Amino acid sequence: MTHATLILECTEADLKKAGELIRAGELVVFPTETVYGLGANALDPKACRKIFQAKGRPTDNPLIVHLSSMEEILTYTRRVSDRHLKLMEQCMPGPVTFVLPKAPDIPDIVTAGLSTVAIRIPSLTEARRLISYAGVPIAAPSANRSGEPSPTTFEMAYHAMAGRVAAIIKGPMCEVGIESSVVRIEKDRLELLRPGFVTFETLTELGKDFGLEVIDLSQLPQAKPASPGTKYTHYKPKATVYLFSSLEDLFSPLIEIPSSTRILYMKQPQSEELLHRIVSMGIEIVVFENMSDYARHLFFQFHRADKEGITTILAYYPPPTGIGLALRNRLIKASGGRFV
């Protein structure tokens, strides 16, 4: 523990205090609609360096710069056309990040030396209030230790960052639960770099209105089963995660389910009988209502399983439509691509 960490609430007085800490070069953990962020003054290279230390993050991974309004975009980026701005206006504030050519004000440590900068305007009001009070843009990765799942509750953020930061703002459980979609803007097209809550389908529809083609660059080289490979492990709980595409897979005679197992599943038509069979085997199963519910609770359930000493998580691998694409991306990394 290097820091006495202040716990702040989402009151105006506390958000103001947090803003002052940011401006003074300190680290502050804050809630957003996606996941909790680990924030520092984006214009202060020394403050930003502290982010990498607190997270244990390699410095070749660039940070997202959080702004409180559309007007600020032109200050921190270059060569943004009207067409691009209008498109961004359709989804900001919201759970999406746009990568644009950077203005010279943004220090190299933030962009890992790239000529582009990632910009996001959170839709959670308290996050934007904090940025306004800080009076500077806030560079923030997710507030987890590098490699671990992103925090989606105050308790998770506290667990990861207490003692490493000046303050943690206690907010609500994050609505979205997974990180923003990251979209690079090129002249005539949008490139999806990381899938999120703002889906490929939504971006494609939106792109059409502005004559921009959308391409998906987020697929991992080996998005399919079999090749474990630790190279892509990320968002990893302590428990070992295995994926499955259908509940029937769990009843294969070749599979032995260890006693300390939790199953994460998403409601499907006609799955009642198999669900009953699993419950009667004494295995705990968490059933999500739909994709958004799954996304919202995925990292929270990872955290909960770890806290309870669960050693194996069997997680449903959804189809690649809508938010399913983002879920698959996080699940492949969390499992290292292992299927049951």
Q: Which residues make up the interface to ligand TXA (CB under 6 A)? A: 32, 34-35, 37, 61-64, 97, 99, 111, 114, 116-118, 120, 140-142, 179-180, 182, 193-194
Residue 198 DSSP one-character state: S
Instruction: Tell which phi-psi region holds residue 286, choosing left (phi > 0), alpha (psi between -120 and 50) or beta.
Output: beta
Residue 304 interacts with which of ligand TXA, Mg ion, none, CB < 5 to 8 Å by class: none
Taking the least distance from each CB to ligand TXA, the nearer of 44 and 179 is: 179
Least distance in angstroms from the C-beta of 87 to Mg ion: 25
Those residues whose C-beta lies under 8 Å from the C-beta of residue 28, and which sit 6 or more positions away, are 18, 21, 22, 39, 40, 130, 165, 166, 167, 168, 169
Residue 193 interacts with which of Mg ion, ligand TXA, none, CB < 5 to 8 Å by class: ligand TXA
Residue 249 DSSP one-character state: G
Residue 314 DSSP one-character state: E
Least distance in angstroms from the C-beta of 124 to Mg ion: 17
Those residues whose C-beta lies under 8 Å from the C-beta of residue 139, and which sit 6 or more positions away, are 39, 40, 41, 42, 48, 51, 63, 64, 65, 66, 110
Least distance in angstroms from the C-beta of 141 to ligand TXA: 3
Residue 114 interacts with which of ligand TXA, Mg ion, none, CB < 5 to 8 Å by class: ligand TXA
Q: In angstroms, how far is CA 24 from the centroid of its own chain?
A: 26
| Rounded Cα distance, 290 and 16, in Å | 37
Alpha carbon distance, N-terminus to C-terminus of the chain: 39
Residue 99 interacts with which of Mg ion, ligand TXA, none, CB < 5 to 8 Å by class: ligand TXA
Residue 118 interacts with which of Mg ion, ligand TXA, none, CB < 5 to 8 Å by class: ligand TXA
Interface with Mg ion, residue 34, by CB under 5 A = no
Taking the least distance from each CB to Mg ion, the nearer of 235 and 316 is: 235
Least distance in angstroms from the C-beta of 62 to ligand TXA: 3
SS3 for 241? strand
Segment 132 to 161, residues that bind Mg ion, using CB under 5 A: 142
Interface with Mg ion, residue 180, by CB under 5 A = no
Least distance in angstroms from the C-beta of 180 to Mg ion: 10
